Structure formats: C-alpha cells, structure tokens
Chains A and B, each alone.
Chain A
Amino acid sequence: MQITVTVNGTARTADVEPRMLLVHLLREEFGLTGTHIGCDTSGCGACTVLLDGTPVKSCTMFGVQADGREITTVEGLLEGGQPSAMQAAFKEHHGLQCGYCTPGMMLVGQALIDRNPDPSEEDVRWAISGNVCRCTGYMNIVTSIQAAAEATREAAAQPASA
C-alpha cells in the first residue's frame, strides 16, 4: 500500500505491507533509527513518537495509519542542526545513562512543555509514567524536562534577534 507520511517536516512516501508497524516504517524504510524498540509489547515507551504532536507508541500502530499525518521522531527535535532545549537539558543534567529510553522520554517531555510551559514535578512524573527507564531512577529525567521547560520559557521571553 502506497502511503505518504510527513516525518520531521518532510513528506516521505513508501510502499508498505499493512502489517508493518510504524516503528519499522521509521527505522527500516526511512532509516530513522533514533526511535528504539524496547519491550515490543506496548509497555515501555522506548518507541514513542509524536503523531500530530501527541505521544504514541510506534510499536502499537501500523505504518498505514500514519498515512497523511505528521510524525515527529527524536531526529526531528534538532533545531538547525543544533540540540534543542530538551536535548541540551538532558545532556546538561545527566538525564540519561544508557540512552535507550531517552528518545521516548525527550519526545514525551517536549509534548508536555508544548502544552504546559511550566510543569510541576508531579506533572512531569505523570507525563512520563508510560516510559520505563532502568538506569536513572527518573530523578535526572524529571530535572532535565523541567530545565528544558525553563530554558524554553526564557528563550521565548528574549527578543527574536537574540
């Protein structure tokens, strides 16, 4: 089946079997391996991407369902080739160890701060409650997302020329 999906702002076409999962479409057809396959049973959130700005588990959706829609993967967080505020915050605050859950964590964090520019710790913990991290104990992930929110608010308050 011929489909067109806008991935990170670029329209991409593919001819896929209907049973191909979105995560395989992204990784194998489009070569975007930043989206990880973790549990493969909808439990861990490592494969999270944004569907029209909303987090979904790409192992639990067929690629054909994304036809005509917009997908954002972790590769799409880059801004002009530079790390976004979310990516910079994860680096600065050690929001990762092995990095396997990180793409999902950053995308969920981004979707959260897009909606809620100043999330409380409770808001962040609630938002990431579908994403499993086996390294960090979550402390630094929460710190990173809140720091990214703060950096984003500060950037928004600066004049556009800055």
Chain B
Amino acid sequence: MLPSRFDYHRADTLDEALDLLATHGDDAKVLAGGQSLIPMMKLRFAYPGHLIDINRMPGLDQIAEQDGELRIGALVRHNALAASDVVQAKHPTIAATAPQIADPIVRNLGTIGGSLSHADPAGDLGSTMLATGASVVLTSKARGERVVPIGEFLVDTFTTSAEPDELLTQIRVPTPGAGSGGTYLKLERKIGDWATVGVAVALTMSNGAIGRAGLALTGVGLKNIEATDAEHAIAGAEPTDEAFAEAGRKAAAAASPVADVRGSEEYKRHIVEVYVRRGLAQARDAARAA
C-alpha cells in the first residue's frame, strides 16, 4: 500500500521544524517514529500534504530529572524508555508500560511524543500519563512553550489540543514520593495487538493510608479515561482489599467499552474491575516493600 503524495521536509533543528509547522500548519504532519502515522497514511486515513521528519533533530531523545520531575524528550523511543535507569528506579508505572507497547520491533522506532500525539484510545502511554499526573510541553514559533496537563491534551479519539503550529517537545512526569508503587496491566490477544483493556495505576501512600491514587483506563472509551470517581473514593482511605474492590467497581462504571472481536462490553468492564483491584494491590505491596 502506498500513501498519497506528500512533500517531505527533514527538520534538523527545532527552529526549522517550528518554521515548517508555522508555514504548513493544518496540512502538515510530524513524522517521529511513524509506527502509527505511516500505517494510517498507507490506509489513506491520513493524507497530509507535508511531512516534517524530526528524527534527526538533536536533544529530543533525552531523559532527565529536573525540579522534581522526569523530563522525557518527545523522541525517546519506547525501548529506550523501558531501558532507562531512572524510569526503572523511580517510575514504576512507566517502567511497567513501556515494554508492553506494541511489539519489540515497533518499540525500536515508536516514540513517546508520537504515541501521545496520535491520541489513540487504545494507546497505553495516554493512560500511564493520566495516572501519573503528567503534562506535555507544546512549542510553537509564535507563542513559545506552554505546559498542558495530559488530561487537557487528550481531547478525543485521535484528537489533541495541540494547535497546528505546535510541536510536542517534552513530557513531564512528577517524581513519585517515598512509599509509592505503580503498574500497568494490559490484556491483549497477542503481543502487538491493541489492548483489549489496559489499566494504569500510580499509588502513593501517606502515613499508612492512601495518599494519591492515579487510575486510568485504555481501550474502553473514546479516549484514555481517568477513573476520577475511583481515585476520589479511595484517597485517604486505608489500603485494604475492600477499598480496592470499591475502586474497581467505580472504575468499571467509568469505562464505556464497545463490543468487538476482543470481547463484549460486559467482559471488558469486568476486566477493568479486576485489573484495577489487582493493580492497586500490587502497587500497595510494592510501596510497602520500597
């Protein structure tokens, strides 16, 4: 399958990329890993007139801690994210997510910025960023940088709040405090398939009780869903199995799955309930062990 014709631009610097975006705006797509965009173009679901290749732009593939946050460059590949020492040491939800994205070959090229910008409701990282309270940095020629909470960035299926002249340049994730745990549980028919259901959990304990609970769901709605009712229900509570079961029920109620070849609506809701309960228990146990 061939995509429709486009003009190819290789942006070697951020300035060049922002200039190109300012000029071509709505008719341009940014090419990062291309692992979702190129299939979309081959299927003619996407047919940008201009493609701006940012793969050779220096500086966007860094992972660094600064001001109590993990700052992840938009061009960090999934396999690099999975292999990062600081991610493995301090960011259990991300560490659990990265090796489960797509398959190992796709992870060699696919990027965090591209994945989030694609805003696929079956995308794993969207849920993980919601659960961890992350933000994205959007950069444009006209307005410089703005920092947008992930929940305001992921607007709808394949739709973000980025303006046509903006480039997602960085993802910022608050570093969890002491007594934290997290995980990402994903049900898939086979490696590389879209998630039937995914659940991201980020838990921080406070004096033995639940301090902050971040819960978000993959593949069960029109976008990644933050299960806020479930989060609020257990904030401040004792981390008991009963509390987690209640969170599971509330998260299942927040899901709005559709039946497809991967399962019925009822089945997917059930998996959400089980995975929230299980994920919270795993996060609690990890937090206590830390």
Contact = CB atoms under 8 A, between A and B. Distances in A.
Contacts of B7: 18
Nearest to A128: B104
Interface stretch (A5-13, A52-60, A80-88, A143-151): A52-60
Interface residue tally of chain A, by bracket? 20 to 34
Given A18-B51, A61-B109, A65-B53, A129 B103 contact: yes
A64 B55 CA distance: 12
A115 to B, nearest CB: 11
Interface residue tally of chain B, by bracket? 20 to 34
Contacts of A18: 6-8, 51
Contacts, number: 77
Interface stretch (B21-29, B35-43, B57-65): B35-43
Among A40, A42, A54, A55: residue with most chain B CB under 10 A: A42
B258 interface: no
Given A60-B35, A65-B55, A42 B2 contact: no
B114 to A, nearest CB: 12
30 contacts: A18-B51, A19-B3, A19-B5, A19-B6, A19-B41, A21-B2, A21-B38, A21-B42, A41-B39, A41-B43, A45-B105, A48-B105, A54-B108, A55-B108, A57-B109, A60-B39, A61-B38, A61-B109, A62-B8, A62-B31, A65-B31, A65-B34, A127-B104, A129-B191, A129-B192, A130-B102, A130-B103, A130-B104, A130-B106, A130-B192
The 6 A-B pairs at the shortest CB distance, nearest first, are namely A130-B103, A18-B8, A130-B105, A129-B191, A19-B3, A55-B105
Interface of A: 1, 17-21, 40-43, 45, 48, 51, 54-57, 60-62, 64-65, 108, 126-127, 129-131
